Amino acid sequence: MAVVFKRPHALKDVSLPYCPGCSHGIIHRLVAEVIDELGVEGEAIGVSSVGCTYNNYLFFNCDMAQAAHGRAPAVATGIKRVHPDHVVFTYQGDGDLAAIGTAEIVHAAARGEKITTIFVNNAIYGMTSGQMAPTTLLGQVTQTTPYGRKPELHGYPIKVCEMLSTLEGAAFVERVSVHDIKNIMNAKKAIKKAFQTQLDKKGFSIVEVLSTCPTNWGLEPVEAIQWLQENMLPAYPLGNFKDKDMEV
């Protein structure tokens, strides 16, 4: 009998601690499947950031480092420069990457650092229980925007892919979502492409994954998926923003 569904080797056999309906679990699995398919687990070194996934170093089978809040791209830079032939990736949330870590991600991309960033955009701070993130939508109510996010007070959401794709050093930039099977398949393709970009030494690669945080959105898992489709998809259009392969 053929095995059609099994845990990727790159993911340890432990149950993940995330809330019901949270996208982090799916994204972990996709990253692990890609590591398996590319056969790079032995060369892979991941960097966990600070957020709900702060301890995902426990879940991936490859070597892992834990970085200070926002600094994962800098830590990854250090690792990559020591091991230029290894596959180095960061896994970061929107608070981590687009608020406190904006300088690090922009400069890692600008340097064309040959690392891959998995950027999980759930439009909120999960770990610290629901404050505004740089990606929080206009009008969205959070613990620190109790009257809704207002442009005149809180500014506008940051579109990370659009911004980073303007940088010469960024080789692969794509936004995906994991709210249904078709999109999950697409997300995996993009993650694989991003890792391949790194293997081909083309430059910096990032995949932004739109995801759910039912707990801090105050929604049931199914409602959260609906909310993502209705609110996040229009604000954060899916698609490829940069692929040096396609450039002539």
Ligand X SMILES: Cc1ncc(C[n+]2csc(CCOP(=O)(O)OP(=O)(O)O)c2C)c(N)n1
Where in 155-184 is the site for other proteins (CB under 8 A)? none
**Is there binding between residue 122 and ligand SF4 (CB under 6 A)?**
yes
Tell me if 127 sits within 8 A of 52, measured CB to CB: yes
Tell me if 225 sits within 8 A of 212, measured CB to CB: yes
What is the smallest separation between the CB atom of 122 and ligand SF4, expressed in angstroms? 5
List phi, psi (to 5°) of 66: -110, 130
Residue type, 171: A
Query: For other proteins, which residue of 52, 75, 123, 137 counts as binding (CB under 8 A)?
Result: 52
* Closest to 161 in 3D by CA, of 200, 126, 210, 212: 210
Q: Which does 96 bind (CB under 5 to 8 A by kind): other proteins, ligand SF4, ligand X, none?
A: ligand X
Residue type, 219: L
**Is there binding between residue 78 and other proteins (CB under 8 A)?**
no
Closer residue to ligand SF4 in complex, CB, 165/216: 216
What is the smallest separation between the CB atom of 19 and ligand SF4, expressed in angstroms? 3
Residue type, 34: V
Stretch of 59-67, 153-161, 167-175, 209-217 lying at the interface with ligand SF4 (CB under 6 A): 209-217
E-strand spans in the chain?
A: 44-48, 63-66, 87-93, 116-121, 170-177, 204-210, 239-243
Binding residue count for other proteins, defined by CB under 8 A: 28
What is the smallest separation between the CB atom of 138 and other proteins, expressed in angstroms? 15
**Is there binding between residue 213 and ligand SF4 (CB under 6 A)?**
yes
Closer residue to ligand X in complex, CB, 106/199: 106
**Is there binding between residue 240 and other proteins (CB under 8 A)?**
no
**Is there binding between residue 215 and other proteins (CB under 8 A)?**
yes
User: Under DSSP, is residue 77 helix (H, G, I), strand (E, B) or coil?
Assistant: helix
Tell me if 209 sits within 8 A of 187, measured CB to CB: yes
Interface residue list for ligand X (CB under 6 A): 50-53, 69, 93-96, 120, 122, 125-128, 133
Closer residue to ligand SF4 in complex, CB, 18/60: 18
What is the smallest separation between the CB atom of 88 and other proteins, expressed in angstroms? 20
User: Under DSSP, is residue 216 helix (H, G, I), strand (E, B) or coil?
Assistant: helix
Distance CA 157, CA 137 (A): 6
User: Under DSSP, is residue 237 helix (H, G, I), strand (E, B) or coil?
Assistant: coil
Ramachandran class of 37: left when φ > 0, alpha when ψ lies in -120 to 50, beta otherwise: alpha
Interface residue list for other proteins (CB under 8 A): 17, 19-20, 50, 52, 54, 66, 68-70, 95, 99-100, 102, 125, 127-129, 131-132, 134, 143-147, 154, 215
